[in-house]
């Protein structure tokens, strides 16, 4: 798995009492875990931490969606059900910039 890959994975609920299979954007990868961002097709109530992702042949999403960059989770690789698609380099640069803002990283 690589940064920018969209996978179908078991993403945990915020109360950690379960999970749901959903698209997840891979942000980082280690031996047994990945760091992923929540993707949803619910476009209501978008905020500054979200990024609109239009469905296309590269990302292979069925609907326009948003990446929720404030909804991150560490996911075991064995909870990843398969690859859906990828996002392009330009969108990855926007994501990097938003994460710097969200996490208040000084570069």
CATH code where residue 65 lies:
2.30.30.110
Alpha helix segments (H runs only) across the chain: 89-103
Determine the average pLDDT of the residues in 27-50. Answer: 95
Number of separate domains in the chain? 1
Range of the domain at 32: 5-103
Tens of pLDDT, residue by residue over 65-100, are 999 999 999 999 999 999 999 999 999 999 999 999
What are residue 42's phi and psi, to 5 degrees?
-75, 110
pLDDT band at 39 (very low <50, low <70, confident <90, very high): very high
pLDDT band at 11 (very low <50, low <70, confident <90, very high): confident
For residue 83, give both structure tokens: 């690859």
CA pair distance 67, 44, nearest whole angstrom? 12
């Amino acid at each position: 798995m690589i940064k920018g890959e969209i996978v179908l994975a078991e993403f945990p609920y915020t109360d950690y009492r379960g999970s749901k299979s959903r698209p997840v954007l891979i942000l980082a990868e280690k031996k047994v875990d990945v760091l992923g961002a929540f993707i949803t097709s619910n476009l209501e109530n978008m905020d500054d931490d979200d990024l609109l992702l239009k469905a296309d042949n590269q990302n292979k999403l069925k609907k326009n969606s948003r990446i929720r960059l404030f909804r991150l989770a560490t996911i075991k690789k064995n909870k990843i059900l398969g690859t859906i698609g990828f996002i392009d380099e330009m969108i990855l640069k926007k994501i990097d910039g938003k994460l710097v803002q969200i996490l208040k990283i000084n570069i």
